[in-house]
Amino acid sequence: MQEIEPRYSGPATVRQSYMTEFTVECPKCKHEAAITVNSPWFLDSGKLTCSYCTHSENATDLIRYKILVKRNCDNCGKLIQKIIPQSREMMDSLAVSCPSCGKTRVYKPRNEAYTQPYNEPQEGLAPVFGLPLWLQGSIRDNLFWAYNRQHLHAIKEYVGAKLRERQTTTHTTMVERLPQFIKDAKNRDAILKLIEKLERKQPTAP
């Protein structure tokens, strides 16, 4: 096992410092892929690329629109409601027939934009695209994960250090926000072994 410095001397970075690139599982070939964003504050700028199968897509490709017309018929006064739950494009007009009198009119619908990721948000998924993080594993029923190799290395340095001094008093750093099971000294060896395994991780054969 690689020797770690006894005193932690990592930078006083926040979690967002590691959120411009996410190492994930490609949705097409299940190999390692990368998501890059222009800013951790604007994840909708994300782009997914896989160097193995050359698959690529943009976060904007995940945008869908709920198309809704809800109003009273101008002929009989009865309620008209038409919903198209998933549309890739916005709609400026929509022809709707009244279920009561049968009159058809063209209305201007409401377009409600939303993002449809591959998976609903949960631990172990990238916050953009909702794809599984490549660097993750289980430690005593706890899920361990890292956004990318830089993030993984920072955690490794912190876990391996015997003396963990606070790096700054101006803000709470990334390592200070780590789950307690990662900070527990009793888990140090198990976590370091898992990290070294993740550093060598290869895709699982289909």
Which has more pLDDT, 5 or 104? 104
For residue 110, the enclosing domain spans 62-115
The pair phi, psi for residue 74, each rounded to 5°, is -80, 0
The pLDDT value given to residue 41: 87
Asked if residue 69 belongs to a domain, the reply is: yes
168 — pLDDT class (breaks 50, 70, 90): confident
Confidence (pTM): 0.81
- 154 part of a folded domain: no
- Kindly list the distances between the CA atom of residue 146 and the CA atoms of 62, 65, 131, 190, in Å, as whole numbers in the listed order: 23, 32, 13, 16
Q: How confident is the model at residue 46 (pLDDT cuts 50, 70, 90)?
A: very high
Q: pLDDT tier at 3 (50, 70, 90 boundaries)? A: low
80 falls within a domain: yes
Is residue 199 domain-resident? no
What pLDDT does residue 163 have? 73
Mean pLDDT of 16-34: 96
* Number of domains observed in the structure of the chain: 1
- Output the pLDDT for position 171: 83
| Domain assignment of residue 201, yes or no | no
Kindly give, in sequence order, each residue whose CB lies less than 8 Å from that of residue 51, ignoring residues fewer than 6 positions away. Answer: 33, 34
Assess if residue 52 is contained within a domain: no
Condensed to tens digits (0 to 9), the pLDDT of residues 89-113 reads 999 999 999 999 999 999 999 999 9
| 41 is a domain residue | no
